[in-house]
């Protein structure tokens, strides 16, 4: 960590700069000096500017940090646990469970007898869906020892939930289908301060579990037999990693929708830049890189000085994928 302290300092400065840029830009043009004054508690020229910054832009920027950092960290956990560079935070079907819960609420209103729809009820439905899938995965992980079998079972859960969502979409109306499609695009701009506190608490718990699993993650890189020879409790460590991933990916999907690419690509990007496999370095670095990427993509997606907002899923892939391809081609090999 001592060798990387200047890199971490640079990452923190970049994060601060992108965070300020994200808050200062939007559909309403607000001078940068007025934004800084509002952030430091000083009075601004127009009270509407202060209201926009505190009630819309600041919560959205915090959400982007939590979403980007949490997804990137959960992707690192899954890639290390399964020793698979293509593993992401959604391989266990947890995100698919959240999508199923949202789909039942948004497209199954006739079956639910006109259940009241709101942002908070959508979060509850998606959280219940992800929790149920996580519970099943934990029960399966408690019975089998083969990690690859667990990966396949998680993919099968994802296929089952996707099939149910497709059936609901087939029988839903155009309005219901449109609402679900908009939710599936992902968004970080509709969370209130209370929802941000809830999401932040869950992400914090998932991050703490990840930090406590650093020794196990380093051991898993060399295989389960080697990890066991080092005294690592494979069953307990694997369950801890799965719970941490479920808390991170499940809560983020419930609050912000399914956001692709970040969890898959950011760990590779971080390994290439830091040139290390040590998780004491990778865990904080991956979180910072994920937060920076998400803030940058959200800044592009909101189309400054325009009322239109592009789907965040499309922006994360369009911005991040070429960067990762360029890094891999330049390095000529993938660190894993």
CA 100 to chain centre: 18
pLDDT of residue 327: 66
pLDDT of residue 336: 46
Please say if the pLDDT value at position 177 is more than 50: yes
pLDDT of residue 212: 93
- 79: three-class secondary structure by DSSP: helix
Round the average pLDDT of the chain to a whole number and report it: 84
Sequence ranges of the domains in the chain: 16-331
How crowded is residue 192: how many other Cβ atoms within 10 Å of its Cβ?
A: 12
Top-ranked range on mean pLDDT: pick from 48-57, 67-76, 102-111 = 67-76
List of long-range contacts for 13-20, beta carbons under 8 Å, 24+ apart: 14/292, 15/65, 15/288, 15/291, 15/292, 15/295, 18/292, 18/295, 18/296, 18/299, 19/61, 19/65, 19/295
| Averaged pLDDT for residues 198-216 | 93
pLDDT of residue 328: 67
pLDDT of residue 335: 46
Q: How far apart are the first and last CA of the chain?
A: 20
| Averaged pLDDT for residues 50-56 | 88
| Averaged pLDDT for residues 50-75 | 92
pLDDT of residue 117: 54
pLDDT in tens, 90-145: 888 888 888 888 888 888 755 554 444 556 777 888 888 888 888 888 888 777 77
Question: Which carries the bigger pLDDT value, residue 17 or residue 275?
Answer: 17
List of long-range contacts for 187-190, beta carbons under 8 Å, 24+ apart: 187/256, 187/257, 187/309, 187/312, 188/60, 188/63, 188/64, 188/67, 188/256, 188/294, 188/298, 188/312, 189/56, 189/60, 189/63, 189/298, 189/302, 189/309, 190/119
| Averaged pLDDT for residues 169-178 | 84
| Beta strand ranges found along the chain (DSSP E) | none
| Averaged pLDDT for residues 11-38 | 88
Candidate CATH numbers 2.60.40.10, 1.10.3470.10, 1.10.150.80, 1.10.20.60; the one for domain 16-331: 1.10.3470.10
Torsion angle in degrees (nearest 10) through CA of 183, 184, 187, 192: 40
Residues 276, 277, 280, 282, CA torsion sign: positive
Top-ranked range on mean pLDDT: pick from 63-77, 209-223, 238-252, 321-335 = 63-77
Of 33, 39, 67, which Cα lies nearest the Cα of 53? 39
Residue bearing tokens 């391989």: 91
Residue bearing tokens 């969370």: 191
Distance CA 242, CA 156 (A): 16
pLDDT in tens, 249-299: 889 998 998 888 898 889 988 988 888 889 999 999 999 999 999 999 998
Percent of the chain with pLDDT over 90: 24
Radius of gyration of the chain (CA): 20
Please say if the pLDDT value at position 166 is more than 90: no
Please say if the pLDDT value at position 61 is more than 50: yes
Q: Which two tokens stand for residue 248?
A: 């991170």
pLDDT of residue 23: 92
Assess contact for 251 and 203: CB atoms under 8 A.
yes
């Amino acid at each position: 960590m001592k060798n990387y302290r200047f890199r971490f300092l640079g990452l923190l400065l970049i994060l601060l700069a992108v965070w300020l840029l994200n808050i200062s830009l939007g559909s309403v043009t607000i001078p940068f000096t007025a934004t800084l004054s509002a952030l430091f508690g000083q009075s601004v020229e127009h009270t509407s500017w202060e209201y926009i910054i505190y009630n819309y832009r600041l919560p959205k920027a915090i959400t982007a940090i939590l979403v980007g950092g949490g997804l990137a960290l959960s992707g690192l956990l899954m890639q290390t646990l399964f020793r698979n560079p293509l593993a992401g935070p959604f391989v266990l079907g947890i995100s698919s469970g959240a999508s199923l819960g949202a789909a039942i609420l948004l497209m199954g209103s006739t079956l639910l007898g006109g259940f009241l729809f709101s942002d908070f009820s959508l979060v509850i439905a998606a959280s219940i869906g992800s929790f149920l899938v996580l519970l099943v995965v934990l029960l399966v992980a408690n019975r089998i020892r083969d990690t690859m079998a667990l990966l396949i079972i998680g993919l099968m859960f994802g296929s089952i939930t996707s099939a149910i969502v497709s059936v609901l979409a087939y029988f839903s109306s155009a309005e219901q289908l449109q609402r679900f499609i908009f939710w599936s695009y992902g968004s970080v701009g509709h969370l209130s301060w209370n929802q941000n506190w809830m999401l932040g608490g869950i992400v914090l718990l998932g991050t703490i579990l990840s930090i406590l699993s650093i020794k196990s993650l380093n051991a898993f890189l060399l295989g389960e037999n080697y990890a066991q020879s080092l005294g690592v409790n494979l069953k307990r460590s694997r369950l801890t990693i799965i719970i941490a991933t479920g808390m991170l990916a499940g809560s983020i999907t419930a609050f912000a929708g399914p956001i692709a690419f970040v969890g898959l690509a950011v760990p590779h990007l971080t390994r290439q830049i830091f040139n290390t496999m040590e998780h004491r370095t990778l865990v904080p670095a991956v979180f910072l890189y994920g937060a920076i990427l998400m803030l940058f993509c959200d800044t592009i997606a909101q189309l400054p000085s325009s009322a239109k907002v592009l789907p965040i899923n499309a922006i994360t892939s369009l911005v991040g994928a070429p960067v990762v391809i360029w890094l891999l081609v330049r390095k000529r090999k993938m660190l894993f």
